[in-house]
Structure formats: structure tokens, C-alpha cells
Structure 1
Amino acid sequence: MPIPLSGPGLDRGLLRDDVYRRLRDAIVDGTFAPGEQLRDLELAGWLGVSRTPVREALLRLAQGGLVQAQPGRSTVVSTLDARAVRDARDVVAAMHEVAVRESVPALTGADVAAMRDANRRFAAALASGDAEQALLADDELHGVLVRIAGNRALETVLEQFTPTVRRAERLRFASLQARESVAQHDELIRLCAAGDVAGAAAVAYDTWHSLPSAEA
């Protein structure tokens, strides 16, 4: 398994979640390719931590479908399976619909402005072909609604299944087809600002559910 040469190691005092997020992001952004074997000792050396948090992170990644792991055997990065993407997409879309229903009544003008700013950066990233920045801006936009909803169960489900969707979306955001998402975001923001809970919830669901599993 080739370990990236760049990137600082993690502080040994950081929480296990940081190890999980670093490994998750490395899979989502393609640093670790589908089918690649992951060895906990090498990963621990790369991150500057003990093997224990790495093993725990790999178990969490397996639960989310990002890796395939068996006790006493090798762990490999999962391939981008169309069925897995479709299942994750359906769950993520439903969770974002719930987040909108719970958050829109509490939205402030500053929250709406933050969403608009995120969508401007999203559009600019798409125009420049920067899929990574597009994903970050997309996360920020939808993250406003998730944060305001304050539903920990919802956040836990999204944390588990969104990475699978994001792996597929990296392909989408590198294509012209992603331009449709800018308009969907604009409509979502308009409905949120107007306090139209049902309309905003429907657009949020469609925005996430519009990712075809065949793109996997």
C-alpha cells in the first residue's frame, strides 16, 4: 500500500474521530483507490498514532461500506458499487429532507446569507473544474440546515452514509451535469428564505436523490 508522502501526522492527543476522518477523506478523494489494501501498521505510521485508533477507524469505515474488512484478514478499499451508492443516496436524501423540515422555521437572515455565499463558491468551483472545492462548498451549504436542525441521530446517519455518496459525486462534480445543482441550490435557498417548509424539503430530497446510481 503506497502511503502518501505529504501531509503532517496527527497530534497523538487528538481523538479517534480525527483518525477516522483522515482515512475517510483519503478514500473519498481517491488517495486510497478501490481495491487497495490498507495495513493498520502503515496507516498508524502515516498518521503518527498507535494502531488502536486506526483499527477502530477501519471498523467504522467498514460499517459505512467504504472498506471491506474481515478479522485476521486484509482490509481493502471497497469498489464504488452502484447498489451501495443507490442505497446510501436514498438514506442521505431522506435525512436532508428531515433536516430541512426541522431547521427552516428557525433559519435567520444570516443563515440564508451563508447558504447563498456557499452556493456562489460552489458555482465558482464548478466553473474552474475544482471538484474538491465544489464538494466543500456543497457541504457548507447543506451543513447550515443540518446544524440548525440539531438532530444528533440524523447527523450520525449522515456521517455514516454521506461518504459513499460523495465518492460518486466527485465524478458528477467534474462534469457539466453538475451545473444543475447550482439551480437546485438557488431554489432550495429561495424556499427556505420564504419559510416554505414543504417546498424546501421536497427540493432538498430531489437534490440529493438526483445522483444516478449508474454514475458509480
Structure 2
Amino acid sequence: MPVPKNFSSPVRMTAKERALSQIQRWIIDGTLQPGEKLIDAELAESLAVSRTPIREAFQLLEVQGLVSMYPGKETRVSNIQKSDIFHLYPTLASLHALAAEYTANNILPEQIEKLRELNIQFKKAIESGQPYQAMELDEQFHNLIIEISENPYIASFSESLQIHIRRFKYVFLKQPIKETLNSVNEHESIITALENKDVQRVSELMKQNVIRPMHELTKLLKEKENNE
């Protein structure tokens, strides 16, 4: 099980939190491949912790659906299928649309401005060819709307789905989907609908914005298969 030796370790975290954060990152970015056996002793040595926090991290990762544990036998990185895309995106779109509906009723002017600022940064990242930064800013935009909705269940389920979607992009494409200015324009329309407290309109726009990458990802995967 090849484990990187040089990586930046998060500070001010417990051993369990540090182990969880790093192993999760390695699973998402494909360093630890689907189906790969995880050896707690090797991970403990690499992360400079005991085996206990590694095992505790495994339990949390299993809850997230990132690993499969077989007590007394082994722990492996969970497999993912290309067909999962058609389950992940529609579910995420429904959650984000619901969050937008809640947010439309209680969003404040300063929060509108924060969304605008994030979208400006998002546009700059796209235009300057920084796909990873663009992906992060896009997530920040959506996460702020979820935060304003003040629904912890939406936040929890959305975070879990985002983890799997991000992993899907890295494992199958080795990079995030290249965002386009279409998404910037959709964000602007979402902001306007929120400002106007148009619940139905913002719900429709949000679903469209979240679902569109599913079609782009499907197209990219087909092109990748044809070139292999």
C-alpha cells in the first residue's frame, strides 16, 4: 500500500481527526485506489500516530461510505461505479434546491453581497485557468446558501454527497470538471432570485445548476472511454 511521505498535515487536530482528514483526502484524490486494502500499521507510521486513531478513523470513513470494514479480516477502500453519477447528482440537486428555498425566505443583504463576491472570484478562477480553485469556490458558493438555510440535515447529507462526487471526478477523470462561464451566469440568476425572494424560481435554477455538471461529466467519461 503506497502511502505518500511528504504531505502537509493539518494543525491543531486530535490524532483521530488528523487521521480521518488525511485518509479521506487520499481516498478522494485517488492516492488510495478503490478496492485497495488499508493497513492500519502502515498508515499509523506514515501519519505518526498510534493504530487506535487509525481504526477510529476507519469507523467514521465507513459511515461516510468511503471504506468497507470486515471485522477481524481487513478494511478496503469502497468501490465506485460510473453509474453512481446518476444517483449522486439528482439527489444533491434536490437538497440544494430545498436549501435555496429556505434561504430565499431569510437571506440578508450582506449575505447577498457575499454570494456576489464568491461568484466574482469563481469567474476569475475560470478565466485564469485554475480548475481546482474554481471547484472550491463553486462549493463555497453553494455551501453558503446551505448555511443560510439553517437546516443541519441538508448540510450533513450535502457534505457526504459532495465527498463522493469529488472522489468520482478525481478517480475517473484525474481532475475536476472544467467549470464554464455558464455556471457563473447561473449563479448570478440564483442570486437575483434570492434577492427577489422568488422561492420557485430559485429552486428551479439551483436544480439546473447542480444537474448540468452531471451531463458534462457523462460526456467526458464517454470521450475518455473512446480514447482508451
Alignment TM class, shorter chain as reference: 0.7 to 0.9
Find 1:196's aligned residue among 185, 194, 198: 198
Residue of structure 1 equivalent to 2:90:
90
The two structures have a TM-score, normalised by structure 2, of 0.79
How far apart in 2 are the matches of 1:86 and 1:75? 27
Range 63-72 or range 9-18, more displaced: 9-18
Paired residues for 1:100-111 under 5 Å: 100-111=100-111
- The 3-state SS of whatever aligns with 1:121 is helix
Give the Å deviation of 1:200: 0.9
How far apart in 1 are the matches of 2:163 and 2:202? 23
Query: Are the structure 2 counterparts of residues 161 and 174 from structure 1 closer, same or farther at C-alpha, using a change threshold of 3 Å?
Result: closer
How far apart in 2 are the matches of 1:73 and 1:85? 30
User: Match of 2:6, as an amino acid?
Assistant: S
| CA radius of gyration, larger in | 2
User: Match of 2:141, as an amino acid?
Assistant: L
Query: Are the structure 2 counterparts of residues 47 and 203 from structure 1 closer, same or farther at C-alpha, using a change threshold of 3 Å?
Result: farther
How far apart in 2 are the matches of 1:40 and 1:47? 10
Query: Are the structure 2 counterparts of residues 194 and 25 from structure 1 closer, same or farther at C-alpha, using a change threshold of 3 Å?
Result: farther
Query: Are the structure 2 counterparts of residues 174 and 89 from structure 1 closer, same or farther at C-alpha, using a change threshold of 3 Å?
Result: closer
Give the Å deviation of 1:68: 3.8
Range 76-85 or range 4-13, more displaced: 4-13
Identify unmatched segments of 5+ residues in structure 2: 222-228
Residue of structure 2 equivalent to 1:146:
146
How far apart in 1 are the matches of 2:73 and 2:112? 49
Residue of structure 2 equivalent to 1:25:
25
How far apart in 1 are the matches of 2:119 and 2:169? 16
Query: Are the structure 2 counterparts of residues 41 and 126 from structure 1 closer, same or farther at C-alpha, using a change threshold of 3 Å?
Result: farther
Is this contact kept in 2: 1:9–1:48, CA < 8 A? no
- The 3-state SS of whatever aligns with 1:59 is helix
Range 152-161 or range 64-73, more displaced: 64-73
Query: Are the structure 2 counterparts of residues 168 and 186 from structure 1 closer, same or farther at C-alpha, using a change threshold of 3 Å?
Result: farther
Residue of structure 2 equivalent to 1:184:
186
Range 29-38 or range 124-133, more displaced: 29-38
How far apart in 2 are the matches of 1:73 and 1:159? 30
RMSD, matched Cα: 2.7
Is this contact kept in 2: 1:134–1:173, CA < 8 A? no
User: Match of 1:146, as an amino acid?
Assistant: I
The two structures have a TM-score, normalised by structure 1, of 0.83
User: Match of 2:2, as an amino acid?
Assistant: P
User: Match of 1:166, as an amino acid?
Assistant: R
Query: Are the structure 2 counterparts of residues 130 and 61 from structure 1 closer, same or farther at C-alpha, using a change threshold of 3 Å?
Result: farther
Q: Percent identity over the alignment?
A: 27
Residues 1:121 and 2:139 aligned together = no
Residue of structure 1 equivalent to 2:132:
132
Identify unmatched segments of 5+ residues in structure 1: none
Paired residues for 1:75-86 under 5 Å: 75-86=75-86
How far apart in 2 are the matches of 1:32 and 1:130? 25
Q: Deviations over 1:107-133 (max 9, x none)?
A: 112111111121222222223332221
How far apart in 1 are the matches of 2:109 and 2:98? 21
Give the Å deviation of 1:83: 2.4
Residue of structure 2 equivalent to 1:64:
64
Give the Å deviation of 1:147: 1.0
How far apart in 2 are the matches of 1:141 and 1:118? 6
Residue of structure 1 equivalent to 2:38:
38
Give the Å deviation of 1:163: 0.9
- The 3-state SS of whatever aligns with 1:75 is strand
How far apart in 2 are the matches of 1:124 and 1:11? 30
